[in-house]
Amino acid sequence: MAPSTSNPFSEITIKLKHSYTTTQWVGLFFLSLLLGCNSSEDPVSPEEGMNPGDEIVDLEGVALTYRNQCGGCHGQDLGSFVEREWTYGNSLEEVIQSITDGYADNGMPAYGSALGAQEIEDLTNYILTEIDGKTKAMLEAENPDLSGLITSDDLTFRVETLTDDIPGIPWGLEQLPNGEILVTERGGRLFLVGNDKQLTEVTGVPEVASQGQGGLLDVLIHPDFENNAFVYLSYSRVNPSNSSERSTAVARARLQGNNLIDVENIFTALPYLNSGQHFGSRLVFDNNGYLYVSVGDRGYRDVYPQELDNAIGKIHRIQDDGEIPTDNPFYTTPGAVNSIFTYGTRNPQGMSLHPQTGAVWEGEHGPQGGDEINILEAGNNNGWPVISYGINYDGTTFTDLTELNGMEQPVYYWTPSIAPCGMTFVSSDFYGSWRNDLFVGSLKFEYLHRLKMNGNTVVGHETLLDGIGRVRDAQMGTDGYLYVVVEGPGRLIRLVPEQ
Ligand code: HEC
């Protein structure tokens, strides 16, 4: 099945196959700098608009616009607007203003050029009407019934809910050797889900900057956890000398009962920036004990990802104590940040180790289209934002290039976006032919996307658990089961194959 739904932008995505000469591309590059550098954030440029739309209020059309443009971030069920404490007000005028001008620094694009004034007003009426009288509890009651057996292409399974009591937005999960499961909540809390399915809060978590896409993010245990009890947490950390700036950081601690002790920050992606978005932030150990940390571009598309003198828009490789391995690809490169493993990355919210090859695979959000799955190899440039299959949220383009010498092609990309979050290979024997397939959570379409793999090649697709809610993380447990956390309500589930 093709992983796409109708989207007005898919038609104008240009898939260029011809290659550019060096002079051509240098020229294009400087032209793009000239056009794009007046703002360091992902620009929302006014040059090109989408169809202004007609004057007739067509509810179906509005619902579709909402689904394609807004639902990926605000929930397809309008969940983020229900019982909202509005920052900028919820009168017709105030909401229109929010949509028109956006809050680019905080991750809300401006739609004033992409949508016509009438379209924005219709959208506003649609949102305000739809949420009128709704409560979060009502939304939760509308979740699809996933009890009973579920039949997929190659497997029949059922969904077992371990807990639906996780407050806030669950973000990362990791099972301990004794079967208990650590789950992070983006607001800053860490929970232990016991074998009796009870939720216990773990104390001693470092202070996090919970704002925008930031907060307490991924959780991982050390390969030798049974002997050293090391737990790793990625999070957005406040600059100790400027409270308006944050960055992606990694803390290491020991888990003792329900407490973290010996908490120590072992990695900070510098520079700290005044931005609440694109922290990236997945953690994975490879088979040699190196720790990989994914860091997003923080919205500074044209400033950091292609330069090696900073840690932003990169995947880093460090030792389990934060020391830098001397065989890192840029270890001896003058001026380079020596933890960099790969660069040219936008917002990598998925990372998983291939069960057969041991390679680290990464999944990242494209802007509008162009979500990617990449295999990471030392020193690679994954191309963001010089090459991309995506376009700006307002429908304008920032590059015409999808390929260039010296920049890697993704193993797979999605246009339109599914907004991929956590991902994992199925590495156990429990799931028959799912073994070695890649499972990617979709925030936007609220399902689990199965990429059927043959080695490193995607050979098929299947969507599972359609409508379950925004899928934040998918991980193999130490017990061989596939676990997933979703929001609305915060749930930890496992997929249990029929025996
Ligand atoms: C890429 C993610 C993203 C997309 C796409 C997006 N938003 Fe937002 N939106 C946000 C974020 C993040 C905020 C919070 C900004 C802040 O607090 O400053 C926000 C804030 C808002 C607000 C103000 C809410 C308040 O509390 O006052 C409105 C209204 C809004 N969005 C409507 C929309 C509509 C309508 C669309 C689609 C046309 C849309 N958004 C698309 C991320 C997004």
pLDDT, tens digit (0-9, with 9 covering 90-100), for 148-162? 889 999 999 999 999
What local confidence, expressed as pLDDT, does residue 43 receive? 30
| Phi, psi angles (nearest 5°) of residue 100 | -65, -45
The best mutation among 74, 97, 129, 278 to test binding of ligand 1, ranked by most ligand atoms within 8 Å of the C-beta, falls on 74
Does domain 143-497 correspond to CATH entry 2.120.10.30? yes
pLDDT of residue 332: 97
Alpha carbons 29 and 373: distance in angstroms, whole number: 24
Would you state the pLDDT for residue 74? 85
Interaxial angle between packed helices 117-131 and 92-101, expressed in degrees from 0 to 180 and rounded to the nearest 10: 120
Q: Does domain 39-135 have CATH number 1.10.760.10?
A: yes
**Other CB atoms within 10 Å distance of the CB of residue 59:** 12
Name the residue at shortest CA distance from atom 36 of ligand 1.
Answer: 70
**pLDDT tens figures, 460-470:** 999 999 999 99
pLDDT: which is higher, 54 or 313? 313
* Protein residue with least CA distance to atom 32, ligand 1: 99
| 3 pLDDT tier (thresholds 50, 70, 90) | very low
Are the C-beta atoms of 205 and 192 separated by less than 8 Å?
A: no
Token pair 């379209």 is found at 119
pLDDT at residue number 314: 98
Pocket test for ligand 1, best of 65, 80, 93, 108 (most atoms within 8 A of CB): 108
| DSSP summary character for residue 67 | I
From ligand 1's centre to the CA of 107, what distance in Å?
Answer: 7
Query: What token pair was written down for 406?
Result: 């010296």
Distance 211 CA to ligand 1 centre (A): 14
What does the pLDDT read at residue 38?
Answer: 31
Average pLDDT over residues 195-217: 94
pLDDT at 52 over 90: no
36 membership: H or E segment, kind and range: helix 22-36
Q: How far apart are CA 449 and CA 473, in angstroms?
A: 12
Q: Which of 43-47, 197-201, 224-228, 437-441 has the lowest mean pLDDT?
A: 43-47
Higher pLDDT, 8 or 67: 67
What sections of 66-116 are H helices per DSSP? 71-74, 92-101
Residue 495 has pLDDT above 50, yes or no: yes
Tell whether the model's pLDDT for residue 56 goes beyond 80: no
226 CA to centre of ligand 1 in angstroms: 44
Q: Is 458 helix (H, G, I), strand (E, B) or coil?
A: strand
Q: Can you give the pLDDT at residue 400?
A: 87
Task: Please tell me the distance between residue 71's alpha carbon and the centre of ligand 1 in angstroms.
Answer: 10
In 3D, which of 375, 381, 387, 321 has the Cα closest to residue 350?
Answer: 375
Q: How far is CA 124 from the centre of its chain?
A: 27
Q: For residue 66, give the ligand 1 atom closest to its CA.
A: 37
The token duo for 22 is 């060096």
End-to-end CA distance of the chain: 27
Q: Report domain extents, the chain.
A: 39-135, 143-497
Residue 476 banded pLDDT, cuts 50, 70, 90: very high
Q: Report the run of H or E that residue 175 belongs to, with start and end.
A: strand 170-175
CA angle 363–168–211, rounded 5-degree value? 70
pLDDT tens across 233-250, in order?
999 999 999 999 999 999
What atom in ligand 1 is closest to the CA of residue 276? 12
Task: Taking residues 105-121, report their average pLDDT.
Answer: 91
CB < 8 Å & 24+ apart, contacts of 182-185: 182/219, 182/221, 182/231, 182/255, 183/219, 183/485, 183/492, 184/216, 184/217, 184/218, 184/219, 184/233, 185/215, 185/216, 185/490
Binding-site residues, ligand 1, Cβ < 6 A: 69-70, 72-74, 84, 86-88, 95, 98-99, 103, 106-109, 111, 123, 212, 393
Q: Residue 207 has what DSSP assignment?
A: P
Q: Where are the beta strands (DSSP E) in 269-355?
A: 283-285, 291-295, 314-318, 340-343, 347-353
Atom in ligand 1 nearest the alpha carbon of residue 123: 35
Catalytic residue set: 278
Q: In the prediction, which pLDDT does 58 show?
A: 47
Confidence grade of residue 33 (pLDDT, cut at 50, 70, 90): very low
Burial of 446 (0-12, 13-18, 19+ CB in 10 A): buried
Share of the chain above pLDDT 70, in %: 88
pLDDT digits (tens, 9 = 90+) for 288-319: 999 999 999 999 999 999 999 999 999 999 99
Q: How confident is the model at residue 499 (pLDDT cuts 50, 70, 90)?
A: low
Distance CA 298, CA 280 (A): 8
Mean predicted lDDT score pLDDT of the chain: 87
Q: Give Cα separations from 173 to 18, 111, 164, 193, 310 (angstroms).
A: 43, 35, 14, 10, 29
pLDDT at 1 over 80: no
Ligand 1 atom nearest the C-alpha of 127 is 35
pLDDT of residue 146: 80
pLDDT by residue (tens digit) across 343-368?
A: 999 999 999 999 999 999 999 999 88
What would the two tokens of residue 193 be? 């889900």
Task: Find the 109 Cα to ligand 1 centroid distance in Å.
Answer: 7
The angle formed by the CA atoms of residues 9, 12 and 14, to the nearest 5 degrees, is 125
